[in-house]
Each structure stands twice: as structure tokens, then as C-alpha cells.
Structure 1
Amino acid sequence: MKKKISIKGGKVHNVGYRLHLMNLADDVGIENFDAKNIKEAGVEAVRVLVESSEDNILEFFDIAKKGFPPHAVVESVDVDEYDRRVKPLESFRSAFNSAQLSKIANVGVTMLGKQDQMLGKQDQMLGKQDQMLGKQDQMLGKQDQTINTLQDIKANTSQIPDIKANTSEMKKLLAKGTPKIIIIEREQVKMKKDIANIKKALAMA
């Protein structure tokens, strides 16, 4: 005996319906079985072909019209006569399992591709982080140079008290009666040297 069963509804694809029906057919002793996801007038449908004894087919249909996969939305289950060849259940099982494994492999490849993209973006982020750290090191290096320069300036400007001391000495010499021109010339030379040293230090900064 052969029958064609059409199961229609809002959601009968990608809910494990064919696996559910294949296991049911195996349980009730259906020898030949086939199931395909199709659309009829724009509505999702599963077309099932069965070939077995009348008792087995009646039992199969009785269970199939009541028991649905958890996420299926079924609107109708209809039975019609069928007179063409129906493939053996084991043949369907083999083809079905191969198709499912292929889907799993494709999903795995897609996930690996996305993972590679994520790793690539992560590498880019790490590269940018390294650049930022490099710039930070450069800034710290410049800061060290600035500190060293300021220290050099401080060391060189320490000569300023010498200028004050020279001025004081000049006043003392004048008070003792040393000729003003000699005193002034002598002190001017010293002051010029001191000022030149300070300018040189500031220019190095």
C-alpha cells in the first residue's frame, strides 16, 4: 500500500519535521519512506511518501496527524493515493543524514570565517594599542629631555650670584680709590663672560 501525506502550516520547515517523521516511520515498521520540504501556493509543506502494509500506514498516519515537533505550526494533514516508486527507508535515512552533516559543515565553516574576522580585528586593535604605547614612550622620552634641559639651565644660571659678587667687588674698589675706568673695564669683561655663558646655556635649552 502506498500513500502521499501533505502536512501544511505556518512553520513546518527547519523544525526537525522530516527527522520526526522518519523516526516515526521506523517505529511503526514502514519499509519505504520519503519526505521533502516544499511549498504549495506559497505555504510551507512537507510531502511524505510511505509504502508498507495497510496497518502500518494507518498507524503512521494516526500518529502523524496528532504528534508534531515542538516548534512546528501545523494547519492541515491530508492523505492521498500514490502509485509511484517510494525509496527504501534506509536509503532516505542515509541521504538525509548526509545532507544534515553537510549543513553542519557549512555552518562550521561560516563560524570559522567569522572567528577569523574577529581575530583579525583583535590583531588590529592590539596593533593600535602598540602604536599608542610607542607614542607614550616618545612623550616620556621628550619629558625626560625637558627635565634634563631645565636642570642644565638651573646649573648654568647659578653663575648669576657671581655677577652680583663682581658688582659688589667693583663698589669696594671704587670706595678704595681705584681708578674708575680700570675698575669698570675689568668688571665689564667679567660680566660679559658671565652673560655669554648664560646665553650659551639658554641657547642649548
Structure 2
Amino acid sequence: MIITMKVRALIRGQRVHGVGYRNHLFSEADSLCMDGFSARNLRENGLQLVEVLFEGDDRQVSSFMAFIRSSWPKAAEVSEISFEEYDGRVEKLTRFAIRFQAIQLSKGVESILRIEAKQDQMLEKQDRMLEKQDQMLGKQDLMLEKQDETVEEFRGVRSDLKEHMEKRFARIEGEIAEIKRVIRELGGSCV
């Protein structure tokens, strides 16, 4: 005759929530084909607590208790595990699976909505940055226009200066030639 047992396990620690503990336990309960299983996160005196209710035959219950004692998620920090007989109702494993999946999907949707909100904020910041970049490019264009105007002014000044200097040098050369001519006429020597 197969005897069905019900057990309540309490897993306490600094970090037993948000580490995949319930999924970890569910996977093992499912592999053992437990009749009933449920797990929920609670808090007790500042500690995190996972309450696990499970139901099965002697072999299943013993195997599951051994698993709970020896295995937990890598990120979990467990300080105490206790077991006690339980005489209340234990949810069917399949019912827990459906409910737990709905809870996890709900968390996923919340996470997606948070990501979407952050993405919107980032896009707004990016738009502001692009506006500033456009302003900077506008200022840069104005500076380049002024630079082109200045270069053209310098070219004009250089051209004017060159023309002026050429006329002046021509006049000076003419004056020197005239001075040399006069010195020669006076009987001096010129180089």
C-alpha cells in the first residue's frame, strides 16, 4: 500500500528570493512526479523565506527532502532549512505550474515595460543631444563662412599689397637708375 505524505519545508536565508529558487524546486518536484507542490516567497524577522508545500509517496517525499537539503540555486544564501508534517491542502503540481508561469510572465511584462520606459527616456536624451549637435554644426558653418570671408579679405589685401609693392619697387628702381645716371654724369663711378 502506497502512503501519501504531506510536508511543509521552510528555507530561510539572506538571499532566497529573486534567485530562481521556486523554479529550481519545481523542476525537481516535476521530475519526481510529485502529486502536489507549491512554493511561495515570504518574509520573517527580516529574513527571506521560501515556503514549500509538497505531497507524494514515501519515496518521492524522501527524495525531494534530500534534494532540498543538498541543492539550491548558485546565487542563493541559505541559513536554515526545516521540515514539518503538513495536514492542509497542497496544490496540484500542474496547477502550480500554470499559476507560477502566469506570475513569471507578469514579471516579464513589467520588466519589458520598465525597459521600454527607459528606452523612451534614452531616446528623449538622444533627441536633445542631436538638437545640440545641430546647433553646434550651425555655429561651425557660420565660423567656416567667416573663415572663408577672412581668407578672401587676406587674398584681396595680399593682392593689393603686391600691386602696391611692385609699383613702389619699380619707382625705387627707377630712382636708383636715375641716381646712378647722375653720378656717372658727374664723373663718379657706380656699381
Q: TM-score, normalised by structure 1?
A: 0.69
Distance 2:137 2:73 in 1: 57
The offset of 1:149, in angstroms, is: 5.4
Distance 2:58 2:11 in 1: 20
Distance 2:153 2:15 in 1: 78
Identity %: 42
Residue 70 of structure 2 aligns to a residue whose secondary structure is coil
Equivalent residue, structure 1, for 2:6: 2
Q: Is 1:118 aligned with 2:136? A: no
Segments of 5+ residues of structure 2 without an aligned counterpart are 172-191
Residue 14 of structure 1 aligns to a residue whose secondary structure is coil
Equivalent residue, structure 2, for 1:48: 52
The offset of 1:145, in angstroms, is: 3.8
**Which has the larger Rg?**
1
Distance 2:149 2:103 in 1: 69
Equivalent residue, structure 1, for 2:146: 142
Runs (4+) of structure 1 moved beyond 6 Å? none
Equivalent residue, structure 1, for 2:106: 102
The offset of 1:61, in angstroms, is: 0.7
Distance 1:24 1:115 in 2: 38
Q: Equivalences for 1:178-197 in 2 at 5 Å? A: none
Distance 1:29 1:117 in 2: 47
Residue 10 of structure 1 aligns to a residue whose secondary structure is strand
CA RMSD in angstroms comes to 2.6
The one of 73, 85, 89 equivalent to 1:85 is 89
Distance 1:147 1:56 in 2: 91
Q: Deviations over 1:79-130 (max 9, x none)?
A: 1121111111111111111111121222122122222222222222222111
The offset of 1:142, in angstroms, is: 3.0
Amino acid in the other structure paired with 1:4: R
Distance 1:147 1:12 in 2: 72
Residue 76 of structure 2 aligns to a residue whose secondary structure is coil
Equivalent residue, structure 1, for 2:41: 37
Distance 1:153 1:73 in 2: 81
Distance 1:71 1:144 in 2: 65
Distance 1:144 1:67 in 2: 75
The one of 21, 28, 37 equivalent to 1:24 is 28
Structure with more relative contact order (C-alpha pairs < 8 Å, separation 6 or more): 2
Segments of 5+ residues of structure 1 without an aligned counterpart are 166-205
Q: How many residues align?
A: 163
Q: Deviations over 1:12-58 (max 9, x none)?
A: 11111111111111122211111001112221111011122233212
- Which is helix-richer, 1 or 2? 1
